[in-house]
A and B are shown apart, each in its own frame.
Chain A
Amino acid sequence: MRHLLSTGDLSREQAVTILDTAAAMAATQAREIKKLPTLRGRTVVNLFFEDSTRTRISFETAAKRLSADVINFSAKGSSVSKGESLKDTAQTLQAMGADAVVIRHHASGAPHRLAASRWTDGAVVNAGDGTHQHPTQALLDAYTLRRHLIGLHGGADPTGRDLDGLRVAIVGDVLHSRVARSNVQLLHTLGAQVTLVAPPTLLPVGVESWTADVSYHLDEVLAQGPDAVMMLRVQRERMGGGGFFPSPWEYTRGYGLDARRLAQLPEHTIVMHPGPMNRGLEISADAADSPRSVVVEQVANGVAVRMAVLYLVLSGQDQTAGDLVAGQIGAHA
């Protein structure tokens, strides 16, 4: 895997490999010594043009657990606020020898631009671009779903398995959500059946072409007993003048997960949220803190998934150079 830009690029096999690698990484994180020497001497740059706490800390933790050197770059207080372009920033990082660039950008497509431009030789990992993609979030959601729900009926180790047959409801602000876009593609690839639930104003144009069912009625979807309910954050910072729904109270009544709706769900159903949560708006405290909420575990799984992604994009990176060296024979050592 050279870059990770979009979950739409991943085949089923690649996605399962990432999840299996994440499981191996997670196993090492239960040990007393959590640090592994795997990426020693490699440099990972966290290039964040948009505010983020958990994703940046998660990537930083993942890189440090693998012994990579981490450089954090945030647009605030950097030359970007003086008007430096993405190209110049990328070339600066290249000059400093970045092996991987983890980029979050407010413009959809910025990671593709960086990966396709050859401004940097490093692997590019998309940590969220505009309203487009957030692949590591979708992967950690898939990992969490697999851990909780696959093997539930068979009782076995989920390694090597996809999400075949799972039914997942993704509820809320789909329009502004890169998490929803990434999840619809990835979960479909892995064999799950996704239903998007939102008011018509919060669904993007062309949603009927997505690989997901669409419903405007949360109660109807919950009555069908989904295996997981993923609540999306209402992204008020992207709503400008508003007008997407009449009032927060009315949104909560139509699309919020409260104690009453929680009680309707089957016993095995898990409640997910990518965070940060607007408590009282899309999710009530009863739902957020209930035993079936896996929100905190999603954060922990995020580190394991990002370790797996960094490992997979950075190992074998010099292989083309290595092939030129004669006498590289024998897998045994």
Chain B
Amino acid sequence: MSVPANTPSADGDPVEILGAGDMSRALTRIGHEILERNHGGEHLVLLGIPTRGVPLARRLAAGLAKVEPGLDAQAFVGDLDVTMYRDDLAHQPTRTVGATALPVAGIDGKVVVLVDDVLFSGRTIRAALDAISDLGRPRAVQLAVLVDRGHRELPIRADYVGKNLPTAAGERVRVLLAETDGRDGVLLEGARR
């Protein structure tokens, strides 16, 4: 991309906020923060929220398994679909219901770290908290996001943030992942000066 990073262009072209290298470093840092805060990875469960939270959770889990030799990346990562817990179902186009897959050991008594790409209004996370309470009773729930773009509508905050990105309400943050979009990157679209 020819546009210099962090400089919104006048005509509203997408601006790349994070490149592949930045994203990888942010995820590595979040992984270390998770281990530090929870004194290791023994009781951790990472749950990715579809669509892009799922590959992010898998990457984080693979990263944790590298640092903590005792961890098996497959055994503590899962997917949490929150579609059926959303509060805006009647007002949005019909959403596809995704799959929920928990680690075999379940989530009771564990520390669940929710993983999502962008934290915006906080409503997805509220839905995720409701979904979790129907699935079990974790000891604690924490939240890791790649981008926090502000504009919260609920008293929810992230425990681990890859990048704090102040935005205007009309702008759009797009996270690209190699698994779903062919390459890594975070774009800010619709930026105006």
Residues of chain A having any CB pair with chain B under 8 Å = 1, 17, 20-21, 24-25, 27-28, 31, 33, 35-39, 42, 66, 308, 311-312, 314-319, 321-322, 327-330, 332-333
**Within 8 Å CB of A321, what residues of B?**
91
Q: When the two chains form the complex, which single residue of B91, B94, B118 contacts A332, counting CB atoms closer than 8 Å?
A: B118
Asked if A330 and B120 make an inter-chain contact with CB atoms under 8 angstroms apart, the answer reads yes
**CA separation between A39 and B83, bound complex, in Å?**
11
A-B contact pairs, 10 of them (CB 8 A): A17-B96, A27-B100, A31-B135, A37-B84, A316-B93, A322-B92, A328-B91, A329-B169, A330-B169, A330-B172
Known: A38-B84, A333-B124. A317 touches B96 (CB 8 A): no
Q: When the two chains form the complex, which single residue of B84, B92, B121, B149 contacts A28, counting CB atoms closer than 8 Å?
A: B84
Of all chain B residues, the one with the shortest Cβ separation from A159 is B99
**CA separation between A116 and B125, bound complex, in Å?**
40
Q: When the two chains form the complex, which single residue of A31, A314, A327, A333 contacts B134, counting CB atoms closer than 8 Å?
A: A31
Residues of chain B having any CB pair with chain A under 8 Å = 81, 84-85, 89-100, 117-118, 120-125, 130, 134-135, 149, 169-170, 172-173
Known: A21-B96, A24-B98, A24-B99. A322 touches B91 (CB 8 A): yes
Of all chain A residues, the one with the shortest Cβ separation from B136 is A32
Asked if A329 and B149 make an inter-chain contact with CB atoms under 8 angstroms apart, the answer reads no
**CA separation between A322 and B123, bound complex, in Å?**
17
Asked if B91 and A24 make an inter-chain contact with CB atoms under 8 angstroms apart, the answer reads no
What is the minimal beta-carbon distance from A100 to any residue of chain B, in angstroms?
12
Q: When the two chains form the complex, which single residue of B93, B100, B121, B169 contacts A333, counting CB atoms closer than 8 Å?
A: B121
Asked if A333 and B122 make an inter-chain contact with CB atoms under 8 angstroms apart, the answer reads yes
**Nearest 7 interchain pairs by C-beta:** A322-B91, A24-B97, A333-B124, A332-B118, A316-B94, A38-B84, A333-B123
**Within 8 Å CB of A1, what residues of B?**
94
What is the minimal beta-carbon distance from A320 to any residue of chain B, in angstroms?
10
B interface secondary structure, majority: loop
**CA separation between A118 and B102, bound complex, in Å?**
44
**Within 8 Å CB of B169, what residues of A?**
327, 329-330
Asked if A36 and B90 make an inter-chain contact with CB atoms under 8 angstroms apart, the answer reads no
What is the minimal beta-carbon distance from A18 to any residue of chain B, in angstroms?
11
**CA separation between A17 and B81, bound complex, in Å?**
17
**CA separation between A85 and B96, bound complex, in Å?**
38
Of all chain A residues, the one with the shortest Cβ separation from B101 is A27
Of all chain B residues, the one with the shortest Cβ separation from A35 is B134
Most chain-A Cβ atoms within 10 A of its Cβ — which of B94, B123, B124?
Answer: B94
Asked if B96 and A329 make an inter-chain contact with CB atoms under 8 angstroms apart, the answer reads no
**Within 8 Å CB of A31, what residues of B?**
134-135
**CA separation between A327 and B91, bound complex, in Å?**
13
Q: Beyond A24-B98, A28-B84, A321-B91, list 19 extra A-B contacts (CB 8 Å).
A: A21-B97, A25-B97, A27-B99, A33-B135, A36-B84, A36-B85, A37-B84, A38-B84, A38-B85, A39-B89, A308-B97, A311-B84, A311-B97, A315-B95, A316-B94, A322-B92, A327-B170, A329-B172, A330-B173
**CA separation between A25 and B41, bound complex, in Å?**
32
**Within 8 Å CB of B117, what residues of A?**
332
What is the minimal beta-carbon distance from B159 to any residue of chain A, in angstroms?
18
**Within 8 Å CB of A28, what residues of B?**
84, 100
What is the minimal beta-carbon distance from A165 to any residue of chain B, in angstroms?
26
Asked if B91 and A319 make an inter-chain contact with CB atoms under 8 angstroms apart, the answer reads yes
Of all chain B residues, the one with the shortest Cβ separation from A25 is B97
Of all chain B residues, the one with the shortest Cβ separation from A99 is B90
Asked if A318 and B96 make an inter-chain contact with CB atoms under 8 angstroms apart, the answer reads no
What is the minimal beta-carbon distance from A56 to any residue of chain B, in angstroms?
23
Asked if B90 and A315 make an inter-chain contact with CB atoms under 8 angstroms apart, the answer reads yes
